[in-house]
Amino acid sequence: MVELKEDRLAREIYEKVGGTGNVSKVIHCMTRVRMDIRDDSLVQMEDLKAIDGVMGVVEDDNLQVIVGPGTVNKVANKMVEMVGVKLGDPIPVDSNRSETAKGNSGLEEAERVAAATKAAQKKKNNTPVKRALKSIANIFVPMIPAFVGAGIIGGIAAIISNLLLAGNISGDNWVTIVTVLNIIKNGLFVYLQIYVGINAAKEFGATEALGGIVGGIVYLAGMTPEMPLPNIFTGGDLVAGQGGIIGVIFAVWLIAIVEKRLHKVIPEAIDIIITPTISLLVIGMLTIFLIMPVAGLISGGLVGAINWVLNVGGAFAGFVLGAAFLPMVMFGLHQVLTPIHIEMITTTGMTLLLPILAMAGAGQVGAAIALWMKCQKNKKLTNMIKGALPVGILGIGEPLIYGVTLPLGRPFVTACIGGGIGGAVIGAFGGIGAIAIGPSGVALLPLIANGKWLGYLIGLLAAYLGGFLATYFFGVPKEAMEATEL
């Protein structure tokens, strides 16, 4: 019986990371299988990178194996199925893991000591800032498929609405279709704080339902215009949704602390009654009268500052942002921008950042095409480009980063230049924003606000061309043009 690709990848990944017992948790994002490793010294890094189907490996707080979109969810689900748990659940320790892994590794003592030293250094560099960034990413990564689906549905609704407004189409049936599509889209965006609250509670170790309630508190359900609650900082009235997801994440972090402390001191017989009640009452009051006003000031100032930089900086700001985004993706830091995008959409109806940052992926596409044209004899490279290019055009750049441009070095730099050129074009046009997050590249076109899709398309083409020319003339290493076979 032929072994399926996802079965083989799951098995081989486990083999190269020290066995199932050396993995404490498995999750995934759009392209990466993310594993928490118990003993870093047992990971055979070079063998892991050499697995057929693995496009790259990132060492961060967790071990991230890039296998590409579509494949990643199959591999991750197969991996948790093999150990009998669900995605994100703790994996039991296999008592035979250590001896088996050591026996297979064949490492000499000196190599083992070196690996242990590296692992210790990695833990030493596990700074509070890195842990905070990881937590933010963990909150939003599971929501990306929802953002993609709901965002595209909302984009379709916006296109039909524009056609109705322009008189290109007419009829009650179209109006009904728009209404239904918006209802589906709003299932995510109207109640987004609740979903964020649930995910944040899971990340911080609080009861997930309590996190959802904290997210629901910011809607101020029950407050009436006749009897508004005061904003103690401005002297005005509190506004539903004030503080957005920034306030929700902070409030859920606090309720996790309170709940854990109460569990230690409240007798077990009444813990189920007292702990959630006190936790919700204390953090709920704090959220309404302190966190919401303060988070509202912070988020409003942040969105205003970004919009100001983009409006004043124009093409220069666009170039810097477009060129800098690929390194952020490389280090896995791009997810931390999600709260900023969402806050901008909530506040202004669109995010001006996303179309500019999407140019980074377009620069990579141009670079990959240039490599394809100049490296025809390198069958291994061109085959990899053929597989990674379609998803790169759709805005998922990690296969191109880790499989093509980054390993070659110079093409990664020239791809960044292409992204900067596209970002400069978007910045020069100004006012090009997206109404939702999730897709990028060509897939972002339906989500461009206010009918400015043509400006976004011109930016994409500029990034393609910039990445292509910079790579074709300056970014192709000689070794990349050497003949290889598959």
- Name residues whose C-beta falls within 8 Å of residue 189's C-beta, 6 or more positions apart in sequence: 150, 154, 345, 436
- 433, 462, 461, 431: which is closest to 447 by C-alpha? 433
Alpha carbons 398 and 369: distance in angstroms, whole number: 16
Q: Is 29 a catalytic residue?
A: yes
- 121, 17, 135, 149: which is closest to 79 by C-alpha? 17
Alpha carbons 412 and 326: distance in angstroms, whole number: 8
**Eight-class DSSP state of 332:** T
Whether the CB-CB separation of 393 and 442 falls below 8 Å is answered with yes
Alpha carbons 427 and 318: distance in angstroms, whole number: 5
Unique residue bearing structure tokens 């299932």: 187
Phi, psi of 177 (to 5 degrees): -60, -45
- Name residues whose C-beta falls within 8 Å of residue 207's C-beta, 6 or more positions apart in sequence: 201, 259, 276
Unique residue bearing structure tokens 């061109």: 382
- Of the listed 9, 23, 26, 29, which one is catalytic? 29
Whether the CB-CB separation of 231 and 284 falls below 8 Å is answered with no
Phi, psi of 431 (to 5 degrees): 75, 10
Alpha carbons 77 and 100: distance in angstroms, whole number: 24
Alpha carbons 446 and 396: distance in angstroms, whole number: 16
Alpha carbons 3 and 15: distance in angstroms, whole number: 16
The shares of helix, strand and coil residues in the chain, as percent rounded to the nearest 5, are 70, 5, 25
Report the b/e string of 150-178 with b at 16+ CB within 10 A.
bbbbbbbbbbbeeebeeeeeeeeeeeeeb
**Eight-class DSSP state of 405:** I
Alpha carbons 377 and 479: distance in angstroms, whole number: 11
Query: Alpha helix (H) ranges present in 125-170?
Result: 128-140, 144-166
- 460, 475, 447: which is closest to 152 by C-alpha? 447
Q: Is the dihedral of CA 206, 210, 211, 217 positive or negative?
A: negative
- Which residues are tagged catalytic? 29
